[in-house]
Structure 1
Amino acid sequence: MEGRVEVYCGQGRGKTSCAIGQCVKAAGQEKQIIMVQFLKGKETEELSFFKRLEPEVQLFRFEKYERSYEELSDEEKKEQDHFIYNGLKYAHKVIDTRQCDVVVLDEVLGLLDLGLLKTEELVEMLENRSDDQLIIMTGRQIPDELIPYTDAVYCISTVKESQC
C-alpha cells in the first residue's frame, strides 16, 4: 500500500462513512487500521459495527460525556479537553511507532476549529508518518496551510436532503 494523506471535509454528511469505507477496503487487503475519533460523544451506533471488524480495525474514543462537545458546559469542555489531549497523544504514538497501516483521525479538523490543536502540531504528526502509512483525516474544513501536506482532499457537500 502506498502511503498517503487523505482528507474528507465539508458541510455535508458522510465524511466518517467515507473514512470507514476506506477502513473496510484496507481490512480486505489484510491491513491493520486504527481509528481515533474526536468530538463525537459516546454514540454507540457505530461501535457494534466496529466490533465485527476487529482485530483488523480498532476504534478508540477518548470521550467522557454522552453528549457532543458543543453541548457541554464550559466546565465539562475543560474536562473533556484533557481527554482529547490524551487522544491526540495516543494518535501521535500510533503514527510514530508505525503501529498500523492506516490511521483515521476522525473529526481531527474540528479540533483545529476549536483551537484545541494547532495546525503545526498536526503537520508534525503527518511528517512523522512512515512512507507506506495511510492517514485519513475528517472534519468540516481544512485550513489552507494544511493542504500542501495532503495527497487528496475530498469536499463533501449536501445538494439535497429530504427528511426521513
Structure 2
Amino acid sequence: MGQILVYTGQGKGKTTAALGLAFRALGRGHKVGVVQFIKGKWMTGERHQAARTEGLDFYVMGEGFTWESEDLTRDQKAAQKAWEKSQEMINGGAHQVVILDEITYAIHYNWLALDDILQTLAARPEGISVVLTGRHAPQGLMDAADCVTEMNKVKHPYDHGQKALIGVDF
C-alpha cells in the first residue's frame, strides 16, 4: 500500500532515521530515491555511500544551511527544483521509497505550498512510501501521514561546544 512517514522535531536523527529506512528498503530489493532540500555544501558520508549503492538515486539539491545563505531567493529556487525532482520520483513509480530530506524547512519558509505537497502525496501511485523530514512539520502534513515521529532534544554535543563529528554528524 505504501505509507507517508514524517520525522520531525528539534532533536537530532531525522535524516539518520530516514536513511535507516532506506537501507532497510534497499536490503529488500526496493529502489529508493532521496532528495535533499537544504544540505548541499558539505560532502557528507551519505553522499559518498550513495555514489556506490546500487538501487539508490540520491539528489543533493540544496544550497546549504539557510542561516548561512546570502541569497534566499536562490535557496527558494533550489527548493522548487528539488520539489520538481521529488514529484518525478513519486509519480514515476520506479522507486518504492522516496525520501524528501528537510522538505519541512521549504514548507516552513513558504518556498513550497503545503497544499501542492499534500495533493502529490494523496495522488501517488499505489505502493509508494514517502518519508518527509525536518523541523517544523506543519499540522496538515502530520495529519496526512500514516506515521509521525518527533525527535526531541534532551542533550546535544553542540550545546557544549563540540563541532560536528565526521561519520556521526555528516
TM-score (norm 2): 0.86
1:101 aligns with 96
Q: How far, CA to CA, are the matches of 2:96 and 2:73 in structure 1? A: 33
TM-score between both structures, scaled by the size of structure 1: 0.89
Aligned to 1:47: 47
User: 1:159 Cα deviation (Å)?
Assistant: 1.5
Amino acid at match of 1:13: K
Quick check: 1:105–1:138 contact (8 Å CA) kept in 2? yes
Q: Deviations over 1:48-86 (max 9, x none)?
A: 122232x211210223x4x4222112xx22123222211
Give the aligned residue type for 2:28. Q
**Contact preservation (8 Å) 2:35, 2:58:** yes
The answer for unaligned runs of 5 or more in structure 1 is none
In structure 2, the partner of 1:150 is 145
Letter in 2 for 1:87: A
Distance 1:159 1:83 in 2: 32
Taking the aligned partners of 1:159 and 1:84, their CA distance within structure 2 comes to: 30
**Cα shift at 1:156:** 0.5
Conserved? CA contact 1:3–1:132, under 8 Å? yes
Q: Tell me the distance in 1 between the aligned counterparts of 2:90 and 2:156.
A: 37
After superposition, the Cα gap between the structure-2 partners of 1:94 and 1:10, relative to the gap in structure 1 and judged at 3 Å, is same
Partner of 1:161: 156
Matched, 1:68 2:65: yes
Aligned residues: 158
Contact kept in structure 2, 1:32 and 1:56, CA below 8 Å: yes
Shift of 1:148: 2.6
Counterpart secondary structure, 1:52: coil
Q: Contact 1:41 / 1:69 at 8 angstroms: preserved in 2? A: no
Give, in angstroms, the shift of residue 99 of structure 1: 2.4
Equivalent-residue separation in structure 2 for 1:146 and 1:135 (angstroms): 12
Corresponding residue to 1:133 among 117, 120, 128: 128
Q: 1:78 matched to which residue of 2?
A: 73
Query: Runs of at least 4 residues of structure 1 off by over 4 A?
Result: none
Q: Report which stretch shifted further, 127-136 or 154-163.
A: 154-163
The residue matched to 2:58 in structure 1 has which SS? strand
| Structure 2 runs not aligned, ≥5 long | 163-170
* Structure 2: distance between partners of 1:103 and 1:30: 14
Q: SS at 1:110's partner residue?
A: helix
Deviates more, 1:21-30 or 1:139-148: 139-148
Q: What is the Cα deviation at residue 154 of structure 1?
A: 0.2
